[in-house]
Amino acid sequence: MTISPAPLAAVFGLQGLTLTDAERAFFKSVRPAGYILFARNIDSPSQVTALVGDLRSLTPEFEAFVLIDQEGGRVQRLKPPHWRHAPASGEFEPLHAADPAKADAMVRLNIQLIGEELKALGIDVNCAPVADVPVPGAHDIIGDRAFSKDPAIVARLGAAVCEGLWDAGVLPVIKHIPGHGRAMSDSHLELPVVTTGLDELRATDFVPFRELSKLPGLMFGMTAHVVYTAIDPQNPATTSAKVISEVIRGEIGFKGVLISDDLGMKALAGPFDERSDAARAAGCDLMLHCDGNLADMEAVARTAGPLGARGLKALADVQSRRPRAKIANTAAAEFKIIDALRHV
């Protein structure tokens, strides 16, 4: 795909339900590859659809990505009454224990329902599945957002999420690669440090990401703001060339578009232009900044650089992507999921 000049390798948030004049001028000037929506940007279906259309109108030469975190459970930006409350990933583990094939089907159906809601609004990238493997005593920032403490189950049900989103014509984001499940602190607030040995990480945390990376469809991966002392004792994965090249791209084999976790999280330090430059230099394809602070986004834009080949290919894929399946009766599908979880 040829876009000249290439879009900025950044995904930005915004402040409210509509664009401010300052945001409009900034986005039109720097031409970010994408945007991410949060609850502060959500009111009604018509408002979200209009906002997505307005964002994309700023760059008529390409259709920017629009991302959202719509995992289900406690992490979903689209909420009732306009959108369904979807179950958390962890709610499917008892069903998997009773009937693995049925759990696969219900996870896939559940996320396809979510994907169809997103697609109807013009949102084409969902920041799911969470492929982290929590360990006892870890911070609850992951908790029931994960499918299980068993990496094989996480991998299997994570694959069902990817398939269900592809069914709806939406791209998945596997997170938080190479694994946030051992973090004893919340990376929104401080930098977690994991001291587990590399062999154990390979046998547990890396497993779901390695298996999901084998899937044939295009996907995004979101980095973890976590230090793994066995790999790089100084830098979190987001800004570690060693973690990204040797583990994420190497051992795990992830070939998709790698997006940083939010550069505004307190796990990272320093000016925002330095954070963005460090993530880009380490190997991230897209720099993510979420809170809509214009001065900070301007700093990110100074060093994010142009979107590379992987990102450009993904833009082309999104523009041509169509749903590969359609749920005929959404109410019946939702009842089927609820009934399956209720009668484990």
Integer-rounded Cα radius of gyration of the chain: 19
- One DSSP character per residue, 271-299 reads -HHHHHHHHHHHT-SBEEE-S--HHHHHH
Catalytic residue flag (residue 139)? no
CA pseudo-torsion sign 106, 163, 145, 148? positive
Q: 82 and 44 in contact (C-beta within 8 Å)? A: yes
Please give the angle made by the CA atoms of 8, 163 and 96, to the nearest 5 degrees.
Answer: 130
Catalytic residue flag (residue 188)? yes
Q: 286 and 9 in contact (C-beta within 8 Å)? A: yes
CA distance 51 to 114: 19
State the catalytic residue, choosing from 261, 262, 285, 296: 261
- One DSSP character per residue, 116-137 reads HHHHHHT--EE---B-----TT
Give the residue numbers marked as catalytic. Answer: 188, 261
